[in-house]
A = this chain, B = another copy of it.
């Protein structure tokens, strides 16, 4: 099974990004001709999802190089675009190490390797699921969050490919509605059984015994296994733990930040109040109301049953399993 959606297209002299702010109402591509345009697209969430951000940033640096722009300045601007996803820093660093060589070929390699790593994550993860499994997922860790295929949704796709009967419940994921707009849409495109719920319904369906497993992505995983992911993930992890349901994080090893000892050190982006007080330009709250808007939260390693990576399934104690995975060859 190949995902029917692809969020990132390289066109030789420009990067085309599927505008994820407009899905599912409109399929529109934003054309980025230089690194600044790519940085803006990352900042404004035209493209989102840690692996997809990393791949896009790689092409941003390739563009700077092709145009004869200052590659170091481009790298700095891209690195600043969003603070939490470590794949962004990882991809920028890798591109800078390849300077002197063909940077387009290096970005192409990062793109291709991301799809391959998703397929390995999918294969490892599918083995964890029963023949008939209902999965809860949060946000979008799908084809749209990667170069294609997906991490959490890659596991879903691989399990469906393997003939398992998989049903997915998608949290809508306020405030940005990645679940309602992106996960529901991309699974529907692939004909996978998906049911949309609001975030606050998850507890009720856990209580009803609806879920066999939770699978989510990650934006950064600390060396001890603590995982930052879209706001609301921690709540789902607490619910899964309270109901004895396995909670899996699916992510490539490039999402692991070995320099980050634990989750308290992961910077959490605070985004604008507008995204909470309005939906699609329509105001839903009284004017002048105080708002908090942390865009991510941190799930402590003790609530994570396993981390499904492209180098195998990691289990507690995570500091050891993560160290071994990072030391091994992919």
Please tell me which one of the listed residues B138, B292, B298 contacts residue A195 in the complex, with CB atoms under 8 A apart. Answer: B292
Most B CB contacts (10 A, CB to CB) among A195, A199, A293, A294 go to A199
- The answer to whether A205 touches B24 (Cβ under 8 A) is no
In angstroms, Cα B22 to Cα A41, docked, is 35
Known: A197-B291, A204-B294, A207-B234. A279 touches B280 (CB 8 A): yes
In angstroms, Cα B263 to Cα A326, docked, is 49
The answer to whether the Cβ of A172 comes within 8 Å of any Cβ in the partner chain is yes
Please tell me which one of the listed residues B193, B201, B235 contacts residue A202 in the complex, with CB atoms under 8 A apart. Answer: B235
Q: How many copies of this chain sit in the oligomeric assembly?
A: 2
Q: Interface-forming stretch among A75-83, A100-108, A147-155, A282-290? A: A282-290
The answer to whether the Cβ of A231 comes within 8 Å of any Cβ in the partner chain is yes
Question: Can you list 21 contacts pairing A with B, beta carbon distance less than 8 Å?
Answer: A24-B286, A169-B292, A172-B276, A175-B198, A177-B285, A181-B286, A188-B286, A188-B288, A188-B289, A194-B290, A196-B276, A196-B291, A197-B276, A197-B293, A202-B235, A204-B294, A204-B297, A207-B234, A207-B297, A235-B235, A279-B282
Please tell me which one of the listed residues B204, B232, B242 contacts residue A200 in the complex, with CB atoms under 8 A apart. Answer: B232
A contacts, CB < 8 Å to B: 24-25, 138, 169, 171-175, 177, 180-181, 184-185, 188, 193-205, 207, 231-232, 234-235, 238-239, 241-242, 276-277, 279-280, 282-286, 288-294, 297-298
Known: A207-B234, A234-B207, A238-B242. A285 touches B196 (CB 8 A): yes
- The answer to whether B294 touches A196 (Cβ under 8 A) is no
Residues of chain B within 8 A of A293, CB atoms compared: 197, 201
- The answer to whether A286 touches B184 (Cβ under 8 A) is yes
Q: How far is the CB of A273 from chain B (nearest CB, A)?
A: 8
Q: How far is the CB of A199 from chain B (nearest CB, A)?
A: 4
In angstroms, Cα B199 to Cα A173, docked, is 9
Please tell me which one of the listed residues B169, B180, B238, B298 contacts residue A239 in the complex, with CB atoms under 8 A apart. Answer: B238
